[in-house]
């Protein structure tokens, strides 16, 4: 049963380049060299890998570079296997299905300055954003990159280091700077962070008084969801499919939908990648994701982590 089509684009691995220690840079292009669907700076795409695995990566090229999608992948030996497949099995000329781009940084508002704080490979979405800002003549932006030793993606970083738009902080040589000191106090700025959990915790603390619309956070891995001792079963109704099912305590909405044979794209399964967003119509969802804005939550939820505060929840599926 299919409640909605899952759109994937056929791409060819055009090139694979060295991006630094344990990092490969993949350029994906249309087989016939057509333009690819447009994207916001630092948008995400899902890569559909051999064996059915789906993994999400940030685009790190300028949106004006619309004949390729550029993703950087760090080989994570203790990860879930996607990076190992990409490093060890995927070759130039291979075909990979990718999703339509989603999310990204909205840089067209009236902020006068943009400040990006990244840890290691977390720099990828901000390379895309920096390229966009530089090309469109927005001079007041700064990228702070925390690394230990050699930085990732040195060739992509170089233009911004040369113009002073990027600074590398080598934490092997000196302690990581205070996040608050990097952000300053100018709340006409827009700020963003992507990196390890400890850095994001400090960033959230430093930005707690900033307007939500000017703060953007991306995570490497989803935070653990605590067990809900008050969890109870509820009815999940699919409006267009005209079917209902019970979601039991401890069961995810995603698992219930997959059990019905509903095609739902999923990658992180922890509420941070945005792959499994679905609109809801009736009820009172419990939102546990880290990706939807308050405005988006008024109509959408992430089925991998969302729950229901009432006995019945109706989805637009």
Of 7-16, 62-71, 205-214, the range with the lowest mean pLDDT is 205-214
- Backbone φ and ψ for 217, nearest 5 degrees, come out as -130, 135
Q: What is the pLDDT of residues 256-310, one digit of tens each?
A: 999 998 888 887 888 888 889 999 999 999 999 888 888 889 999 999 999 999 9
**Contact (Cβ atoms closer than 8 angstroms) between residue 266 and residue 228:** no
In the DSSP assignment, the letter for residue 102 is: B
CB 209 within 8 A of CB 191: no
Q: What is the tens place of the pLDDT at every residue in 122-151? A: 999 999 999 999 999 988 999 999 999 999
- pLDDT recorded at residue 1: 42
Check whether 3 has a pLDDT greater than 60.
no
| pLDDT reading at 2 higher than 50 | no
Q: Percentage of the chain with pLDDT > 70?
A: 97
Query: If you average pLDDT over every residue of the chain, what do you get?
Result: 91
| Confidence at residue 27, expressed as pLDDT on a 0 to 100 scale | 98
* Domains, the chain: 8-99 (2.40.30.10), 113-219 (3.40.50.80), 234-315 (3.10.20.30)
Q: Residue 2 CB: number of other CB atoms within 10 A?
A: 10
pLDDT digits over 192-234, tens only? 999 999 999 999 999 998 988 889 999 877 777 777 887 889 9
Q: With a cut of 50, say whether residue 311 has pLDDT above it.
A: yes
Mapping DSSP to helix (H, G, I), strand (E, B) and coil, where does residue 296 land?
helix
Cβ(313)–Cβ(303) below 8 Å: no
């Amino acid at each position: 049963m299919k409640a909605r089509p899952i759109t994937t684009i056929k791409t060819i691995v055009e090139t694979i380049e060295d991006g630094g220690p344990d990092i490969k840079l993949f350029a994906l292009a249309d087989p016939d060299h057509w333009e690819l669907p447009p994207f916001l700076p630092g948008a995400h795409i899902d890569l559909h890998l051999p064996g059915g695995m789906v993994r999400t990566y940030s685009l790190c090229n300028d949106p004006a570079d619309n004949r390729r999608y550029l993703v950087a992948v760090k080989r994570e030996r203790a990860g879930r296997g996607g990076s190992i497949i990409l490093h060890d099995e995927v070759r130039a000329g291979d075909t990979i299905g990718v999703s339509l781009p989603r999310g990204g940084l909205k840089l067209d508002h009236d902020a006068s300055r943009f400040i990006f704080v990244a840890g290691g490979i977390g720099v990828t979405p901000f390379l895309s954003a920096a390229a966009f800002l530089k090309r469109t003549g927005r001079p007041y932006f700064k990228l702070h990159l925390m690394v230990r030793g050699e930085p990732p993606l040195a060739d992509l970083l170089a233009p911004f280091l040369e113009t002073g738009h990027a600074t590398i902080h080598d934490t092997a040589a000196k302690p990581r700077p205070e996040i608050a000191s990097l952000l300053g106090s100018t709340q006409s700025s827009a700020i963003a962070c992507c990196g390890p959990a400890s850095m994001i915790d400090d960033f959230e603390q430093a930005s707690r008084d900033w307007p939500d619309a000017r703060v953007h956070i991306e995570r490497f891995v989803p935070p653990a969801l605590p067990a809900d001792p008050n969890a109870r079963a509820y009815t999940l109704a699919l409006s267009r499919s005209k079917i209902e099912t019970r979601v039991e305590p401890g069961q995810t909405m995603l698992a219930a939908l997959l059990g019905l044979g509903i095609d739902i794209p999923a990658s992180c399964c922890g509420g941070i990648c945005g792959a499994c967003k679905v609109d809801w119509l009736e009820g009172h969802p419990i939102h546990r994701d880290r990706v939807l804005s308050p405005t988006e939550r008024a109509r959408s939820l992430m089925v991998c982590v969302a729950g229901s505060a009432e006995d019945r929840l109706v989805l637009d599926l």
